[in-house]
Amino acid sequence: MKATERHRLKENEFARTVGRARASLEERGRDVGVVMLAILIALAAVGGYTWWRQSRNAKANTLLAGALAVHEAPVVAPTEPAPGSPVPVEQPGTFRTLQTKLEAALPKFMETANAYPSTDAGIAARYHAAGILAQLGRYPEAETRYQEVIDRGGRSIYARTARLGLASAQLAQNKYDSAIAIYRDMSTESNPQLPVDGVLMQLGQAYLRAGKGEDAARAFNRVVEEFPDSIYVADARRELESAKKG
């Protein structure tokens, strides 16, 4: 083979090699572009979700703050005016009775709870609403709200204490067995979320209301024996003696 032909063959092979390399780089470039685009889209989505969540939480906290302001407002009972004097004007930001204040705060808490049900502020608002309903004697509604806090609150402090509120609302409706079951479960948890001595006191009181003196005595006795330094020991001893006599 002549030298010129060999040279031409080498040139053609070199050209094919360069072409394959260029095509490979172009293909890789397209792949890298796709990956970079996917990363940018993911970052934008994460950033958008973070902004949305922060905005939602801020709005929920603002609503909750407004409800708490009403709930914590002072109650100023009206005074009798002096003879010939005009009736005193109610001071701004105050309420004449506790009931009127609670009735004013309740819809504000429920507005927060319903608008932002899964936020911390929404769960807190629902818990406060349940407490108000119990104070107003609306126990079936309080029971429902407490159960919603338990269902939505996960392991939050509101979900934990809502169990006590639920049991209390049930006791007020003479639902002794269901209330006792809640207290008993909480008093025997291997990793208790709330002070067990306090739970045992409420369990004993529930047993007493249900007419189960022996069970009540066992609950009070646990306080005395297992929690000798508890602030409830004196009350537990007194209730224990009363339960034994009853």
pLDDT in tens, 23-36: 664 666 566 555 55
Distance between CA atoms of 231 and 94, rounded to whole angstroms?
A: 35
Q: What would the two tokens of residue 191 be?
A: 């990793």
- Give the residue numbers spanning the domain of 229: 188-246
Same domain for 152 and 97?
A: yes
Strand partners, 75: 95
Same domain for 66 and 154?
A: yes
Residue 149 has pLDDT above 90, yes or no: yes
Q: Is residue 96 classed as helix, strand or coil in its secondary structure?
A: coil
Taking all residues of the chain, what is their mean pLDDT, rounded to a whole number?
84
Q: Is residue 42 classed as helix, strand or coil in its secondary structure?
A: helix
Torsion of CA 220, 233, 160, 105, to 10 degrees: 110
Number of domains in the chain: 2
Q: Is residue 95 classed as helix, strand or coil in its secondary structure?
A: strand
Q: How far is CA 52 from the centre of its chain?
A: 20
| Packed helices 3-71 and 98-115: angle between N→C axes, nearest 10 degrees | 170
CATH of the domain at 139: 1.25.40.10
pLDDT in tens, 76-123: 887 776 676 666 666 778 898 999 999 999 999 999 999 999 899 999
State pTM to two decimals: 0.74
Closest Cα partner for 112 from 56, 72, 157? Answer: 56
Same domain for 168 and 124?
A: yes
Q: Are 88 and 78 in contact (CB under 8 A)?
A: yes
Residue 52 has pLDDT above 50, yes or no: no
Q: Are 172 and 139 in contact (CB under 8 A)?
A: yes
Same domain for 161 and 66?
A: yes
Same domain for 139 and 231?
A: no
Q: Are 130 and 160 in contact (CB under 8 A)?
A: no
